[in-house]
Structures are given as C-alpha cells and as structure tokens.
Amino acid sequence: MDKIVEKIKNGLRGEIVIPSDKSISHRAVIFSALAKGRSVIRNFSGGQDPHSSLSVCCALGVDYKFLDGVLYVISDGKLKSPLSALDCGNSGTTMRLISGILSGQNFNSVLTGDESLSKRPMMRIIEPLEFMGAKIFSDGGHAPLQIKGAPLNGIEYNSKLASAQVKSCILLAGLFAEGRTTFTEPFVSRNHTELMLKSMGADLTVLGNSVSIQKSELAPIEIDICGDISSAAYFIAAALIVPSSRIILKNVGLNPTRAGILEVVQKMGGALRILDKKNVAGEDVGDIEVCYTDNLKACEIKGDIIPRLIDELPVIAALATQAEGETVIRDAGDLRNKESDRIAAVVAEVRKLGAEIEELEDGFIVRGRSNLKGGCEVETYHDHRLAMSLYVAGLMCEKPVKINGFEWVDISFPEFANLFCKLM
Ligand code: S3P
C-alpha cells in the first residue's frame, strides 16, 4: 500500500491520546504467561508486534481473552511444549525475550520470523544464553532458532551493547537458572523489564548499569499501559516543524530510560511542555504540549543518550532537516541491525526529498535548514519507523511525496494516519 503525503496549510492543531506502548505491551503479556493466575492488561497495543508475543504465548499453552478492550491472560505459570514452530513475525522483541524463557524449559522449541527478522543478529543472545548452559541451534546466528530446553546456571555478563532486548532475554533466562544472574551494560537501556518483573515479585536488584536476578515465582499483574513515547515522537517532530502547529499528546510514557527525544527537543530549543506528570505502576506518564518553533538549532546526539532514543533517530533526521546547523548523530551503529539498516535507509530516502544528509559508519549528519522539494517516491524497506519518519518529512515538502510500503506502519502504530488526520 502506498500513501501520498502533502504539505499542510494550517498547521497541526488539537489533542490526541497516544496509543499503547509496544515495549510494555510485549512484556505485560510475556511476563503474565509466567505468572500463575489471571493477569489483567488494560490498553494492550493494537500493533502487530505485541500480537506476535500474544500468539506465541498462546502456542505455549497460555489462555487469553479480550473483554471490553481489556486483555485477560490466564496461565498456570508453566509453559507447555508447542505443537509447531513459534512464529515471531517481524518482532525482534518477541524472539529475543521468548528465547531467554525457552532456553530454561524442559521441552524443545523452534522460533521463526519473517524475512526481515530472519536477517537480524541473534548471536547477541545466543552467546550469553550458551554461557548459561542453553542449547541453541541457529542459521549462522540468525533465525530460525532451535532451542533445546536445558538446566541453566546464573552468570555475570558484561554486555558490549546497551540493549534492552538482550538484557531482558538474559534476565528472563535468569528466572529459570540456578544461582544469581547479573547483566551489566555500558549505558542503561530501557528498564521496563526491571520495573515490571520487580512489581510481579521477582528477586531482582538494580545497581547502576547492572541488574541481578534469581529464580523467582511471579505473581499475576494488573496493569494500565501508558502511551508509547516512540509513537508520540512523530507528532512531536511534526508539530515542531509545521508552521502554526500547537498540539497536546495525552497519556505519554515518560520513563527517563525512553525519553531521550525530549532531551533533544530541549537542546534544539523546541517549544515543548510536560503537563500533568504522574507515576502509574512505576512508569512516569504525562501529557505533552508541543508548538511550532521556527528557530530550531542543530545539536550533537551521541554516547549514553543513544539507547534512550534509539527508535526515534529516523524521525530526528526529519526534524533535523528544519534545524539551523549540523545535527550529528554518532555511536548509533546498532541502527544498522534494526528492521532495516536504518542508517543507510534514512540517508537514502531523506536525501531523495532534498535534505542534505551524510552517512557515517555509526550515525549520520544532517545539515539544515533544508528546503525539501519532495515530488518523488520513497521506499520503506519493510520498516515501520522509516515509513512514519518519511511521512513527517513529507509534511514539509513543497510537492507531494508517495511513500511505498506504508502498510508496515501497522507493525507498531495502526492508528498513525488517522491520528494525523485528526490534527489537520
Ligand atoms: C526494544 C528495545 C530496543 C528497541 C526495540 C524495542 C525493547 O532494541 O530498538 O524497538 O522493547 O526491548 P534493542 O534492545 O535491540 O536496542
């Protein structure tokens, strides 16, 4: 499916509720599967990725039902041997988190994924899981993964990558291992796993960049999932660059380990205010007001902030085309291992629109402000975040832009286009 995006005349105006957080939705359903009893999950994501986690849990013997929009997960706390391969779809989070759990079961399983997921690196989880005693057979470090359930032992693992998926995988394996498992990462990545497992009664401690866990029984949860800041980011960027915009985004997750985009907007001098901040089940949540800002300044984005905004870097490229000066993004080499090679893809496609953008091994440089011409077709590389970032850049183009493969948006944010229409 393609989508035509055009310049808007009167700015983005109004108020929208940001839909459910994808990362928290995955964790809510996967962790509920491990808890004996009935978990209640309100505002579960409608994206395809969290539904991959739900269907994998279901294939592992967990029951669920949706009633008046609420997801109930019913489990006896013990997973069952699956009858066939477990399809993780496009979802790296599903594959990596579930692998940690399956490594410590007393049955065998196979995890598969779509074309894009089958190209993504899995050695980052296979290696530490094997240190723990796991038996995993892969296609040269890629899916399909054949996991032979085995007794696991706790390890101390120093990860070179700051990755919440790797961290969560190892902590989940640690729930089934003898002894203590400690995972240390160079910078703190999103901590939803730590917060949720702790609230479910796991024996888990956090010390700086290290998290330790021991075998624990989990209690069911009742959770109201907040809006996804990664989804909010498209509206934040669009409102900052489209003249006359003033919007309010309701119910956005503001967990500091996810909110790097807000720090960047502040550095750029963007008009953004947090309204009504509160804490819901350990997660910070609030409303965000964003207004058009005609004097955005470029900035440097590198080091420890990268894991806090890793998924927002493509839309930051669109934003940076309208900021005065050089926006330099470094230390983000892992962007090449996402649903697409996001460095190469962003550079190629944003350049087609007329931006001045240079590829670096571990990031990119955007030279603003650019007068984006548009009047062309762009590609999405089977990547939802690229599709949505190009839509935002398209709003600034003089001539309409045709985005091919726009259906990939449904992976995380099926409501995306409708919500934009509401603000036009
Ligand atoms: C995620 C972690 C990040 C992020 C992904 C979701 C998660 O991946 O890019 O979209 O839910 O844990 P990495 O852990 O590979 O950085």
d(C-alpha 200, C-alpha 27), whole Å: 12
Phi and psi at 194, nearest 5°, equal -60, -50
Q: What is the pLDDT of residue 369?
A: 96
Q: What is the pLDDT of residue 280?
A: 87
CA 359 to ligand 1 center in whole angstroms: 22
d(C-alpha 153, C-alpha 134), whole Å: 9
CA 163 to ligand 1 center in whole angstroms: 6
Structural domains of the chain sorted by starting position, each given as residue range(s) with its CATH number in brackets: 3-20+226-423 (3.65.10.10), 22-219 (3.65.10.10)
How many Cα atoms are found within 13 Å in the side-chain-facing hemisphere of 90?
18
**Hey, what long-range contacts does 215-218 have (CB within 8 A, 24 or more apart)?**
215/174, 215/175, 215/176, 215/177, 215/178, 216/175, 217/36, 217/77, 218/31, 218/34, 218/35, 218/36, 218/77, 218/175
* Nearest by Cα to 202 from 277, 282, 83: 282
Q: Which atom of ligand 1 is nearest to the CA of 338?
A: 9
The residues that are catalytic are 311
CA 338 to ligand 1 center in whole angstroms: 9
Testing ligand 1's pocket by substitution, the residue of 27, 29, 163 carrying the most ligand atoms inside 8 A of its CB is 163
Q: Is the minimum distance from the CB of 194 to ligand 1 under 6 angstroms?
A: no
Q: What is the pLDDT of residue 243?
A: 97
Query: Measured between alpha carbons, how far is residue 67 from residues 25, 30, 71, 225 in Å?
Result: 17, 19, 7, 16
* Nearest by Cα to 97 from 152, 171, 150, 160: 171
Instruction: Pinpoint the alpha helices (H) of 141-245.
Output: 164-174, 192-199, 229-241
d(C-alpha 272, C-alpha 285), whole Å: 15
Q: Please list, in sequence order, all residues whose beta carbon lies within 8 angstroms of the beta carbon of residue 300, skipping any fewer than 6 positions away.
A: 327, 328, 330
Q: Give 255: exposed, middle or buried? Use CB within 10 Å, 0-12, 13-18, 19+.
A: buried
Per-residue pLDDT of the chain (424 residues; tens, 9 = 90+): 999 999 998 999 999 999 999 999 999 999 999 999 999 999 999 999 999 999 999 999 999 999 999 999 999 999 999 999 999 999 999 999 999 999 999 999 999 999 999 999 999 999 999 999 999 999 999 999 999 999 999 999 999 999 999 999 999 999 999 999 999 999 999 999 999 999 999 999 999 999 999 999 999 999 999 999 999 999 999 999 999 999 999 999 999 999 999 999 999 999 999 998 999 878 999 999 999 999 999 999 999 999 999 999 999 999 999 999 999 999 999 999 999 999 999 999 999 999 999 999 999 999 999 999 999 999 999 999 999 999 999 999 999 999 999 999 999 999 999 999 999 9
CA 68 to ligand 1 center in whole angstroms: 30
Count of helix runs (H) and strand runs (E) in the chain: 13, 25
d(C-alpha 216, C-alpha 174), whole Å: 9
What is the per-residue pLDDT across 244-295, written as a single tens digit (0 to 9) for each? Answer: 999 999 999 999 999 999 999 999 999 999 998 999 878 999 999 999 999 9
Q: Is the minimum distance from the CB of 162 to ligand 1 under 6 angstroms?
A: no
Whether 85 and 110 have beta carbons less than 8 Å apart is answered as: yes
Q: What is the pLDDT of residue 418?
A: 97
How many Cα atoms are found within 13 Å in the side-chain-facing hemisphere of 19?
20
Torsion over CA: 156, 161, 165, 166 (sign): negative
* Nearest by Cα to 23 from 206, 327, 216, 229: 229
Q: Which residues of 12-34 are buried (b: 16+ CB within 10 A; e: fewer)?
A: bbeebebbbbbbbbbbbbbbbbb
**Virtual torsion, Cα 343, 338, 383, 283, nearest 10 deg:** -110
CA-closest residue to ligand 1 atom 13: 163
d(C-alpha 357, C-alpha 410), whole Å: 27
The model scores a pTM over 0.95: yes
Q: Is the minimum distance from the CB of 164 to ligand 1 under 6 angstroms?
A: yes
Query: Measured between alpha carbons, how far is residue 56 from residues 37, 63, 86 in Å?
Result: 18, 11, 6
